[in-house]
Chain A
């Protein structure tokens, strides 16, 4: 069964510093997608970045980059130059591929709570 593991329940980072949030995944499918979402205290899930299993380069979106190490089955999120507004829960998710008809449902980890300190 496909699984996402986030081993850091909480992280602190100083404003303007970089931080890495860990994510490992387990799947036997050769084709999959990995996502990171941010969930502020207000509750909405905000899409940050996507990495496809066949993508040759690590994904980047502004201050967000994904350190994709396929052999290690890890997809860590790197946030550069942290800002106070980055304080939130961060979820790693994997898109399941159903060869009978892809449903694209997401499987989420348990999240990492990031606190940015001034």
Chain B
């Protein structure tokens, strides 16, 4: 399977705990995105990497959130001191080097569903 993979698929944690999610993009894709999706809503952009550089962060990404892509391959998203409002589906997507048009299509992973009790 050469699609985007995410681990874990589900995570249940207690309020105040730290959690970390991993995303492995499609191997030839150099762009990687994180989105958050709450119930009944479309995904909302969190952050974006081009290779190992984090080029943009949403205002949704509070200081409790941090994302890395150390070698320009896989990425991790960490949430510190989780709150109940962090409960959501966290989606990762990747796209190939920008060339305009449909070549910038983002392909999504299966997501990590986080539940904070």
> Any chain A CB within 8 A of the CB of B87?
no
Which single residue of chain A is at the shortest CB-CB distance from B110? A44
A43 touches B111 (CB 8 A): yes
Please count the residue pairs between chain A and chain B whose beta carbons lie under 8 angstroms apart in the complex. 66
User: Which size class do B's interface residues fall under?
Assistant: 20 to 34
> Any chain B CB within 8 A of the CB of A104?
yes
> Any chain A CB within 8 A of the CB of B65?
no
Which single residue of chain A is at the shortest CB-CB distance from B31? A104
A110 touches B42 (CB 8 A): yes
Name 9 extra pairs, CB < 8 A, besides A43-B111, A44-B108, A103-B48: A33-B104, A35-B106, A37-B108, A104-B104, A105-B56, A107-B45, A108-B44, A110-B41, A111-B42
B-contacting residues of A (Cβ < 8 Å)? 4, 33, 35, 37, 42-47, 50, 52, 91, 93, 95, 101-111
